[in-house]
Amino acid sequence: MKKGDRYVINGSKNWITNGPKADAIVLFTMTNKAAGNKGITAFIVPTDAKGFKRMAPDKKMGISAAWSCSMYFEDLEVPAENLLGKEGEGFKVAMSTLDGGRIGIASQALGIARAAFEEAVRYSGERKSFDKLLREHQAIQFMIADMATELDAARMLVLRAAHLKDQGVRHSAESAMAKLYASEMASRVANKALQIFGGMGYSKEMDAERHVRDARITEIYEGTSEIQRIVISATLLKD
């Protein structure tokens, strides 16, 4: 609701990354419900503003180093000068950053998977079973080969999307492909790595279990895997 040269905002949002520590946020709010997407407006809001309330950090199964929390806005007054873009351009602002954000999550997934892979390869050269190093068993060799192949495939998709972004070329489908494949690949690779560690992989003494937990979120935030498939298919099936 607009009141003079200020906007009065009420509402809430969950899972705000860096929310517990942020000095300011970009807030997207509906300023004209009847206008649909064109009724969304973006604001820059300091977190010490009156009416701004953030809750305790969320308790999550993974990515514990990335704090998040819920936020509430109760009669929060934001001056018009804090608009990011113009009124009604919030959706455009959000979409302009989303494709790049998906490349970022794909890169995160790639890093998690790479760490899991390298630790599993190292462990396979240290641990023995049936008087042989793990890496000397064909079953382990096949797992490592699959992991390495998937890692390289994901890396190529991420690099392609990043290159297109650098060139200023539309890359919605390519970013979605990179995010979809890299995130699901990360879960597969992290699970295979844990399997190579065996019982020790299930212990918190090793990082293997953490990689499994950290990888899972990359299939969810910045658009779930299902959303990525919708974006990809909509681009391919466009009339």
Q: Which residues are catalytic?
A: 222
The label of the residue with tokens 């709010």 reads 29
Q: Measured on CA atoms in the order 182, 227, 217, 54, is the torsion positive or negative?
A: positive
Nearest CA among 48, 43, 49 for reference residue 26: 43
**Six-digit token pair at 47?**
């977190």
**Six-digit token pair at 188?**
């597969």
CA 141-146-149 angle, 5° bins = 125
Contact 110, 189 (CB under 8 A): no
First to last CA, the chain: 39
Contact 100, 165 (CB under 8 A): yes
The size of the chain, in residues, is 239
Q: What are the residues facing 42 on neighbouring strands? A: 28
Distance separating alpha carbons of residues 27 and 39, to the nearest angstrom = 14
Please report, as a single letter, which amino acid is at residue 64.
Answer: S
Nearest CA among 97, 66, 106 for reference residue 228: 106
